[in-house]
Amino acid sequence: MERVREKPAERAERAEPRPALEQPVVENRVQENIFLQPIAAPSILGLYGFSGATFVVAAGLIGWYASGNARFVFPFAAFFGGLAQFLAGMWAYRARDGLATAMHGMWGSFWMSYGVLFLLIAIGVLVEPAPAFVGLGWWFIPLGFITLAGAVAATRVSWALFTVLVLLGSGSGLAAAGFIGGSTFVIATAGWVFLFAAIAAWWTASGLMFEQFFGRTMLPLGPRRARPIVTLGTREPGVIRGQ
């Protein structure tokens, strides 16, 4: 038999060393523990706190009790309406509810400031000016604008919450005009608007609470529109909405 001679190029290719086998990639993973913490709807607490404090203060603005008794209102306004609502705003922040965080946080801070103001008046550090209370009137101007902005956002939540914020923003505008101008009629009108806002807040909070525990609508809150999409962060399994 005749031998077949290999060409030099073929011999060179055979002589090249074969690449070593790739080493398997070992992925080191650190075990992570995720703790889910249920969060109830913070707006139930926030709206109840707002409703109670606003009702009591509105009754004084209307004239249902003497102006001197307003000094005894500040503990209720500062804690029931202020602290409770501010805490609701912070819990709403944790639930990623921007609207509830802004509204409850802002109004909770206002009610605590209102309580401190009338505490200083009660102990004689400050004297309540009459008939115009210009300083207090200016407080209501930013409150009114921010609250009306929240009312626009509330159209994406429910018409009940929209009603609460519209009444609250409108009452703030009237209160600003009444206290700055010293008009008792305008102040009383603001009190009536605040009173209706307090009733609407009670209705909304009760509707949210009943719906959670009975699993169906007990108090109508109006048509619910599409809520904004919640974007999850890295390694976060989910959130519970605040409204």
Reported as a pLDDT band with limits 50, 70 and 90, residue 38 is low
pLDDT tens-digit profile of 182-224?
999 999 999 999 999 999 999 999 988 888 888 777 787 877 6
Give the contacts of 83 (CB within 8 A, at least 6 positions apart): 108, 112
Domain-located, residue 97: yes
Residue 8 counted as domain residue: no
> Nearest-CA neighbor of 89 among 111, 63, 68?
111
Residue 31 has pLDDT above 70, yes or no: no
Domain assignment present for 106: yes
Q: Report the pLDDT value the prediction gives residue 157, as an integer from 0 to 100.
A: 85
The single-letter code of the amino acid at 185 is F
Per-chain mean pLDDT for the chain = 80
Percent of the chain topping pLDDT 90 = 39
Cβ atoms of 84 and 205 within 8 Å: the answer is: no
Q: Is residue 84 part of a domain?
A: yes
Structural domains counted in the chain: 1
Give pLDDT, residue 241. 46
Question: Which residues lie below 8 Å from residue 173, measured CB to CB, with a gap of 6+?
Answer: 140, 141, 144
Q: Give, rounded to a whole angstrom, the gap between the first and last alpha carbons of the chain.
A: 93
Of residues 166, 180, 227, the one with CA closest to residue 41: 227
**94 near 104, Cβ under 8 Å?**
no
In a domain, 25, yes or no: no
Q: What is the DSSP string of 154-216?
A: HTTT-HHHHHHHHHHHHHHHHHHHHHHHT-HHHHHHHHHHHHHHHHHHHHHHHHHHHHHHHSS
Specify whether the CB–CB gap between 108 and 88 falls below 8 A: yes
The pLDDT tens digits of the residues spanning 6-17 come to 555 555 555 555
Q: Return the SS3 of 98.
A: helix
For tokens 């159209």, the residue is 155
**Range with lowest mean pLDDT among 19-33, 38-52, 105-119:** 19-33
- 78 located within any domain: yes
Does residue 156 belong to any structural domain of this protein?
yes
Q: What is the pTM of this model?
A: 0.75
Segment among 58-72, 166-180, 226-240 with least mean pLDDT: 226-240
H/E stretch holding 75 reads: helix 74-75
Q: pLDDT for 71-87, tens place per residue?
A: 678 888 889 888 999 99
Q: Lowest-confidence range among 8-12, 113-117, 119-123, 229-233?
A: 229-233
**Which residue matches tokens 């009660």?**
122
Is 6 part of any domain? no
Domain that holds residue 83: 42-214
**DSSP conformational letter for 130:** S
